[in-house]
Amino acid sequence: MPIYQSLFENDAQFTLDENYCVAELNEFSKYYNEQLQSALELLRTSHPEVSIVYADYYNAFQWLFDNRSELGFSGTQACCGSESGGLYNFDLRKMCGKGTKVCPNPDQTISWDGIHLTQKAYQIMAQQLLESHLFECTA
């Protein structure tokens, strides 16, 4: 996401991976999801009468990003952002809104404003969650 790429691209403490994502944040997300799964398993065991729905947002987004070209997305810039936002079209001092430009075709970008996805990206990701093993509902 442009927010993290912009914030950490020049910070020597962090590593950008082959997708220009902050590797340490990805590792933290994986760790968090492992801990969440463990906690959910305890809840399911303690409360078998409760339905718990879990959607693996991290892996759904990773799938979306890994398949971005095939899905019709291009680039890593935010669609709505500031020209002063550099490579990712994202500047914390000038967020999407009055005085910023919007790309001509949001359906071809993953990131709307550097923080949130575009409507099309959310739609594809939701479909992937529902149609794959990334969505789990227990009753």
Domain residue ranges of the chain, discontinuous segments joined by +: 2-138
DSSP letters for 41-71: HHHHHH-TTS-EEEE-HHHHHHHHHHTTTTT
Asked if 52 and 40 count as a contact pair (C-beta separation under 8 A), the reply is yes
Most confident stretch, 74-83, 113-122, 129-138? 113-122
Q: What sign does the dihedral 18-55-122-3 (CA atoms) show? A: negative
Beta bridge partners of 22: 16
Mean pLDDT of all residues in 64-86:
85
pLDDT digits (tens, 9 = 90+) for 7-61: 666 666 777 777 777 888 889 999 999 999 999 999 999 999 988 888 899 999 9
pTM summary value: 0.80
pLDDT above 80 (res 64): yes
Q: What percent of the chain has pLDDT over 70?
A: 84
Q: What percent of the chain has pLDDT over 90?
A: 42
Per-residue pLDDT, 134: 64
Lowest average pLDDT, out of 86-95, 98-107, 113-122, goes to 86-95
Asked if 83 and 97 count as a contact pair (C-beta separation under 8 A), the reply is no
Closest by CA position to 63, among listed 115, 7, 127: 127
Structure-model confidence comparison of residues 31 and 5, the more confident one: 31
pLDDT above 70 (res 99): yes
